[in-house]
Structure 1
Amino acid sequence: MSQGQSDIPITEQCSVRWSHAEPAEDGYAGEQDGGCRLYPGHIPTSPLQKALLAAGSALVALYDPYRHDMVAVLGETTGCLVLPNLRDKMKNDPEGSRVLQERPRIRLSTLDVEGLRRLPDGTLGREYLRFLEDNKVSPDTRMPAKFVDDEELAYVIQRYREVHDLMHTMLGMPTNMLGEVVVKWFEAIQTGLPMCVLGAAFGPVRLNARKLQVLATELIPWAIRSGRNANCILNIYYEQRWEQTVASLREEMSIFPPPAVRV
């Protein structure tokens, strides 16, 4: 979880589409460069280059789990076998297919921050904004996809990144190491992304004995049961659910309420 702005600016709500025709920051647009660049920011890489990037990013991410740039690279370079399955889950679900077609983005520029702040306590929008402000994080810190060699799959992993903070909100987990590990266990079961599996497996090595006991006896079993039981997290159009309560959305998604333990 990267540190963001402590005072989130008020922005006007708008709709942003992921389009390969949109100019990239380096001046390239979708089909330029002989068709090698599939979307803005795409960096074509060979299998060998992906393997080297995966190995290097894994080492750095294991040493420093808060290096989210390396976590992002690891997710993209190791997720090629899993992302098509997630994409198909979205295509086969009515709400998920709308998300995949309309390509919404969760950014400060797409959030009506003052509108979310006026929502009642307990609603998804109000609790999500509270999470951002309490933890001094911003959705704009999520890295754009670069190494996924398919425009549609690049959006899928981008969407996963941008709903990560919503998973913290839904699961009631803070941004400390224990909370991150719990969310990673849930996401590993939900998505099968190797990056999530590695985070779930190796994240606990940084925890003390008391937290390890709580993790092993209470939180991991709950995260696994919830991950197996819940609907696909990418099949929710969260931007259209801000006024729904977190409790009712958990029930709809079949996520079990969090254990009553201090995280």
Structure 2
Amino acid sequence: MKPAVARQSTAFFRKHASSQCLHILPPVVQGSRPFSVLNRPPPNYPGHVPLTRVERAGLAIGSGLISFLNPRRGDLIAAFAEATATPYFIYRLRDAMLANPTGRRILRDRPRLTSETLNLTHLRSLPAGTVGHTYVAWLDREGVSPDTRSAVRYIDDEECAYVMQRYRECHDFYHALTGLPTVREGEVALKAFEFANTLLPMTGLSVLNVVTLKPRERARFASTYLPWALRNGLRAADVINVYWEEELERNVDDLRRQLGVEPPPDLREIRKKEREERKRRQAALRERAGLAEAA
């Protein structure tokens, strides 16, 4: 019996080792067709642009540098995310979904998060404190739309491309869940949270934008928002596995407790109070200057 068991164990190991290798290697390595700029394979899904390793490296470096200098270039941030997500990190995120029952349903159903699929008018009618109302109130307050997310183009595996698209479209829900605004300071804090939770390189490298913040903002990030992001991102459940479409009528605080996410201090309110304090100081200085001139 022992030789038979050994043969079965060897076959099991070979099967699963081979499967893991396929997860790690990019699809261009798995195929038998040579891949070069002169012999580019056909796209794996609509909009897909196959890249050589040199092209992918160039895209990562170029888009990373320009998006660091201009964080409002969402198209380049998206390209940088895709160029740096393979060959490992997007597969790790996909496997986290496959290991979760809800994540597997999301991968099977492949829902999209847009203004049409979410019905924003209905969400505005939901009671305050629900996930849907909190989300749409955040959209209205920040003046953003769920229809601005770029389509994935540079990830070869078609299923992993959907995972990246899903992460991208869930980003505003993460904002609503945490209450962080879209100002640069809020985006840096949220990217730190996302990096601790997803390990996507783009989210970690985006945290480097902290150097572009004002001194008081950097100090606040170091003392308050970075510790919050690391603590909550590491302990929270994988937020990629939230089926947001099924949670819209749920109490948002209940969902936060289930995920293990505590909202950070209200950054927009903190910034508002700072502006009001600056205005008061400026008004007091002008008043003293006027009194001095009158004297």
- TM-score normalised per structure 2: 0.76
Greater relative contact order: 1 or 2 (C-alpha under 8 angstroms, separation 6 or more)? 1
Equivalent in 124, 132, 137 of residue 130 of structure 1: 137
- In structure 2, how many angstroms separate the alpha carbons of the residues matched to 1:39 and 1:140? 20
1:251 is matched with which residue? 257
1:192 is matched with which residue? 199
- Per-residue CA distance 1:44-79 (angstroms, 9 max, x = gap): 111111111111100111001110100000000100
Q: Does 1:83 align with 2:90?
A: yes
* 1:206 partner amino acid: T
- Per-residue CA distance 1:184-207 (angstroms, 9 max, x = gap): 00011111111111101x111121
- In structure 1, how many angstroms separate the alpha carbons of the residues matched to 2:69 and 2:221? 21
2:23 is matched with which residue? none
* Residue 59 to residue 260, structure 1, CA distance change in 2 (3 Å): closer
Q: Report the identity percentage.
A: 41
Tell me the C-alpha RMSD between the 2 structures: 1.5
* Residue 44 to residue 242, structure 1, CA distance change in 2 (3 Å): same
* 1:65 partner amino acid: P
Contact 1:174 1:180 in 2 (8 A): yes
- In structure 1, how many angstroms separate the alpha carbons of the residues matched to 2:81 and 2:226? 22
- In structure 2, how many angstroms separate the alpha carbons of the residues matched to 1:57 and 1:35? 23
* Residue 259 to residue 133, structure 1, CA distance change in 2 (3 Å): closer
Q: Does 1:161 align with 2:168?
A: yes
Q: Does 1:228 align with 2:234?
A: yes
Q: Does 1:175 align with 2:155?
A: no
How far the C-alpha of 1:35 sits from its partner, in A, is: 6.8
2:43 is matched with which residue? 37
- In structure 2, how many angstroms separate the alpha carbons of the residues matched to 1:179 and 1:59? 21
2:73 is matched with which residue? 67
Contact 1:96 1:234 in 2 (8 A): yes
Equivalent in 115, 120, 123 of residue 122 of structure 2: 115
* Residue 207 to residue 35, structure 1, CA distance change in 2 (3 Å): closer
1:15 is matched with which residue? none
- In structure 2, how many angstroms separate the alpha carbons of the residues matched to 1:106 and 1:137? 14
* Residue 243 to residue 76, structure 1, CA distance change in 2 (3 Å): same
* 1:54 partner amino acid: A
How far the C-alpha of 1:36 sits from its partner, in A, is: 2.0
- Per-residue CA distance 1:216-248 (angstroms, 9 max, x = gap): 111110110000010001111001100112211
* Structure 1, gaps ≥5 residues long: 1-33
1:55 is matched with which residue? 61
Higher helix share: 2
- TM-score normalised per structure 1: 0.85
* Structure 2, gaps ≥5 residues long: 1-39, 272-295
Contact 1:170 1:250 in 2 (8 A): yes
Q: Does 1:104 align with 2:104?
A: no
SS at match of 1:38: coil
Contact 2:179 2:266 in 1 (8 A): no
- The number of residues matched between the two structures is 230
Contact 2:177 2:263 in 1 (8 A): no
Contact 1:106 1:139 in 2 (8 A): yes
- In structure 1, how many angstroms separate the alpha carbons of the residues matched to 2:214 and 2:137? 28
